[in-house]
């Protein structure tokens, strides 16, 4: 059962390669019509859009059984599907009336058979569709799926060639005419109760879920969705939010450390500047004191010295000298050429 998708994929691919090549109006041999070995796909000499008429000529198909038939362009005009009470045979030549119980039908074409009067209670409406409106086509004979537990039933085993990767294996599909909830045992040929999940089995049909696992126990239905425990959502949620917060906290710590370093640099720079200023003031005081202490000096000389000490020419060399062996920040300001800009220095100290 688990390999059914592969079977479908590969059988579609197979038709693509193996479909007949004769197109409309070309000759064909109706005797070549057959089901392909392994896939049981209908084959005729004619291509996918035509069928082989009784006159041995390929004619456009008169009906289709699939909603989306294979071998047509997406903008092509498709032949009609058959109305209720009729079916389209594998050949696709024309719609036919449903066949009575006991009539010959085509493989797996339960829909070709007339439904029983109580079709509503016999119909298998599940995903597996083990009958169509209570009818089954077994061994090419129309029957009703109406046999109850312990009564004799008919079984049809079909061996498909299935593919899983490069491996080829046989997938036996076993069908019977038991009512829904029972299966037709291949040895005793009587209807038996289907088994629940966890019970032992040796064929898919024995399980209510139609999935007999490799360990011989009925498992979950192959189409049942995966469910994850609450803990998984919790772990994933913690992972996501934990990761986010860890990143934020790490960045915060790194930035704080960097800010502290920068602040320390600025503080150091401010201290140095302050020290320079004290030095200059001290120098000025010393100079004034020495000038004043000189005998016979007037006011005019004093004012000249005062203004010179205040000017850039005298202050710059002293600063320049000390700059070369101090904080990294000063080097930065030096590069910018604004080392002596009091405004920027003061701004830096405050920020």
Ligand X SMILES: *[C@@H]1O[C@H](CO)[C@@H](O)[C@H](O)[C@H]1NC(C)=O
Q: Which residues bind ligand X (CB under 6 A)?
A: 22, 27-29, 45, 73, 75-76, 84, 101, 111, 115, 132-133, 143-144, 146
Pairing state between β 191-193 and 182-184? antiparallel
Q: Which residue has the tokens 């594998």?
A: 90
As given in the structure block, the two tokens for residue 287 are 């100079």
For ligand X, the closer of residues 183 and 333 by Cβ is 183
The distance of closest approach from Cβ of residue 110 to ligand X in the complex, given in angstroms and rounded to an integer, is: 8
The distance of closest approach from Cβ of residue 132 to ligand X in the complex, given in angstroms and rounded to an integer, is: 5
For ligand X, the closer of residues 32 and 336 by Cβ is 32
As given in the structure block, the two tokens for residue 288 are 């004034």
The distance of closest approach from Cβ of residue 60 to ligand X in the complex, given in angstroms and rounded to an integer, is: 13
Residue 124 pairs in a beta bridge with none
- How many residues belong to the chain? 351
For ligand X, the closer of residues 22 and 50 by Cβ is 22
For ligand X, the closer of residues 149 and 267 by Cβ is 149
The distance of closest approach from Cβ of residue 143 to ligand X in the complex, given in angstroms and rounded to an integer, is: 4
For ligand X, the closer of residues 153 and 329 by Cβ is 153
As given in the structure block, the two tokens for residue 17 are 């390669």
Q: Measuring CA to CA, which residue among 94, 96, 16 is closest to residue 51?
A: 94
| Cα distance between residue 99 and residue 89, in whole Å | 11
Residue 89 pairs in a beta bridge with none
The helix/strand/coil state of 271 is helix
For 3, other C-beta atoms within 10 Å of its C-beta total 16
The distance of closest approach from Cβ of residue 15 to ligand X in the complex, given in angstroms and rounded to an integer, is: 18
């Amino acid at each position: 059962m688990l390999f059914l998708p592969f079977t479908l994929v590969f059988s579609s691919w197979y038709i693509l390669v193996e479909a007949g090549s004769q197109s409309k109006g070309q000759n064909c041999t109706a005797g070549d019509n057959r089901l392909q070995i392994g896939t049981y796909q209908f084959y005729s000499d004619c291509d996918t859009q035509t069928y082989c008429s009784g006159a041995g000529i390929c004619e456009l198909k008169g009906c289709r059984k699939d909603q989306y038939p294979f071998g047509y362009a997406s903008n092509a005009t498709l032949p009609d599907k058959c109305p209720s009470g009729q079916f389209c045979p594998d050949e696709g030549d024309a719609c036919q009336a449903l066949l009575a119980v006991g009539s010959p039908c085509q493989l797996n074409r339960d829909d070709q058979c007339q439904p029983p009067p109580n079709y509503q209670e016999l119909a298998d409406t599940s995903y597996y569709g083990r009958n169509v409106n209570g009818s089954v086509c077994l061994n090419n004979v129309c029957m009703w799926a109406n046999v109850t537990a312990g009564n004799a039933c008919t079984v049809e085993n079909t061996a498909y060639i299935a593919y899983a990767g490069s491996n080829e294996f046989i997938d036996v599909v076993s069908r019977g005419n038991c009512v829904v909830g029972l299966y037709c045992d291949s040895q005793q040929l009587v209807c038996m109760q289907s088994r629940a999940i966890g019970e032992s089995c040796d064929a898919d049909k024995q399980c209510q879920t139609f999935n007999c696992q490799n360990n011989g126990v009925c498992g979950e239905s192959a189409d049942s969705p995966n469910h994850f425990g609450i803990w998984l959502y919790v772990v994933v949620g913690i992972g996501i939010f934990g990761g986010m917060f860890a990143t934020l906290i790490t960045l915060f710590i790194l930035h704080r450390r960097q800010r502290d370093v920068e602040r320390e640099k600025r503080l150091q720079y401010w201290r140095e500047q302050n020290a320079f200023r004290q030095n200059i003031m001290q120098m000025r005081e010393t100079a004034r004191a020495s000038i004043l202490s000189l005998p016979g000096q007037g006011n005019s000389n004093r004012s000249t010295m005062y203004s010179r000490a205040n000017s850039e020419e005298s202050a710059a060399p002293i600063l320049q000298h000390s700059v070369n062996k101090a904080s990294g920040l000063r080097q930065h300001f030096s590069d910018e050429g604004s080392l002596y800009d009091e405004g920027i220095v003061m701004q830096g100290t405050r920020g």
